[in-house]
Amino acid sequence: MLGVTSPGMVAAVSNEGGLGSLPIGGLSPDAARTLIKATKQLTRKPFAVNLFAHEISSVPRDILQKMWSFLVEFAKSKGYQLDSPSLPEFKFYNHRHQVDMLLEEDIKHVSFTFGNLDNESIKKLHAAGVSLMGTATCLQEAQILESSGIDFIIAQGIEAGGHRGSFLDGELPRIGLFSLLSNILQKCKIPVIAAGGIHHSQSIRAAMELGASGVQIGTPFINSVESQAIPSYKKRLEEATGTDTKLTCAFSGRWARGIINEFMQEVELSGLDIPPYPYQNTLTASLRKMAQAKDDHTMTNLWSGQSLPLQETRSCKDIFLRLLY
Ligand SMILES: Cc1cc2nc3c(=O)[nH]c(=O)nc-3n(C[C@H](O)[C@H](O)[C@H](O)COP(=O)(O)O)c2cc1C
């Protein structure tokens, strides 16, 4: 969970026998390596590293400029000063920039979302014995992953918090986990990991009963002690119900599920074209950072799934163990 997961969270889950997952999507190889090294300091157990496998398109400058001018004015009205009237610098990284570093760091489990890995990266990682887990939100995506040699499919239901892993053109697939899981299990042969709305031992057992080989869990860990989520985000999670979340492109230019807040509503109401990921993500980054520094939950993303945490803030170890029993 990029922006939320700390090395301490990854290590806590791996130390208890789960596969903690360290997000490095979109980070420079150096920044990602620092996080990997910090995680290795805290655990000797295996952990996964999570990548973003998106392609980067070009976007007309006037679309970027209009959104940026809107954000500068909106930020000002809320007491935030964005640095400059001219566009921020765009510097993007995807999985291609990170693969060699992962091999140098001897990482053995890699998950990814937003697309598929290119053939060369798949070959290199497999040659080093790395297991690959790709995210699918519909059967067609799962079949693409399977036919390119990926080892596990992560079936991400529409209930899930954070970004959709969808990567095909056309309408966004909006399939609930149980339907998605059954669809994929019927047609694909590789093991499937269930993600979306799993928040207690009963839902874990239900997914396994349907045929999942494992589960991937996000939202229940956001309000853990080790999480990087700001206090007001954790509080909103405690107060919210499933109907308080929705899908939006406002923060990053990619569909993602989060708790509804003022930023989300105002960007959507602006009527402007929202530049695609990762452009919008960069345009909104400094404002989100300033809001987080002031613990302001109205102006930053509050990613959350429809199954909200069942308990108050606890350690990751405690959350993990309670999920099992
Ligand atoms: C705060 C947050 C951040 C997330 N960031 C990532 C990410 O960086 N990479 C990824 O593959 N999935 C990410 N996800 C999605 C999760 O991998 C997973 O699909 C989802 O959390 C499962 O649904 P749940 O939130 O209901 O448990 C994120 C989810 C949340 C809630």
Q: Dump pLDDT digits (tens) for 159-214.
A: 999 999 999 999 999 999 999 999 999 999 999 999 999 999 999 999 999 999 99
Residue of 183, 129, 176 whose CA lies nearest to 156: 176
* Distance in Å, CA 156 to ligand 1 centroid: 9
**Is 127 a residue whose pLDDT tops 90?**
yes
**Is 312 a residue whose pLDDT tops 90?**
no
Ligand 1 pocket, CB under 6 A: 1-2, 4, 23, 25, 50, 113, 135, 156, 159-163, 195-198, 216-219, 222, 303-305, 307
Q: Which atom of ligand 1 is nearest to the CA of 218?
A: 21
Instruction: Name the closest-CA residue to atom 29, ligand 1.
Output: 162
Contact indicator for 35, 7 with CB cutoff of 8 Å: yes
pLDDT of residue 233: 97
pLDDT of residue 309: 78
pLDDT confidence bin for 29, thresholds 50/70/90: very high
Mean pLDDT over the full length of the chain: 96
* pLDDT tens, position by position, 135-159: 999 999 999 999 999 999 999 999 9
pLDDT of residue 37: 98
Helix boundaries (H) for 148-211:
177-187, 201-210
43-64 average pLDDT score: 96
- Name 71's bridge partners: none
* Distance in Å, CA 35 to ligand 1 centroid: 18
CA dist 246 and 158 (Å) reads 10
CA dist 207 and 198 (Å) reads 8
**Environment class of 209 (CB within 10 Å of its CB; exposed 0-12, middle 13-18, buried 19+):** exposed
pLDDT confidence bin for 313, thresholds 50/70/90: confident
Share of the chain above pLDDT 70, in %: 100
Pick from 19, 198, 219 the residue to mutate for probing ligand 1's pocket: most ligand atoms within 8 Å of its CB: 219
294-321 average pLDDT score: 93
* pLDDT tens, position by position, 243-277: 999 999 999 999 999 999 999 999 999 999 999 99
Q: Which atom of ligand 1 is nearest to the CA of 4?
A: 1
Q: CA of 109: how far to CAs of 44, 113, 117, 126, 275, in Å?
A: 14, 14, 14, 10, 32
Instruction: Name the closest-CA residue to atom 6, ligand 1.
Output: 1
To which H or E segment does residue 51 belong?
strand 48-52
CA dist 320 and 314 (Å) reads 10
* Distance in Å, CA 162 to ligand 1 centroid: 5
Contact indicator for 254, 277 with CB cutoff of 8 Å: yes
267-293 average pLDDT score: 97
Q: How far is CA 167 from the centre of its chain?
A: 14
**Is 84 a residue whose pLDDT tops 80?**
no
Task: Give the end-to-end CA distance of the chain in Å, rounded to a whole number.
Answer: 23
Taking the complete model, does pTM exceed 0.95, yes or no?
A: yes
**Is 316 a residue whose pLDDT tops 90?**
yes
> Under 8 Å CB-to-CB from 285, ≥6 apart: which residues?
88
* Distance in Å, CA 165 to ligand 1 centroid: 9
**Is 292 a residue whose pLDDT tops 90?**
yes
* Distance in Å, CA 4 to ligand 1 centroid: 10
3-state secondary structure of 116: coil
15-43 average pLDDT score: 98
> Under 8 Å CB-to-CB from 165, ≥6 apart: which residues?
113, 114, 135, 136, 137, 141, 154, 156
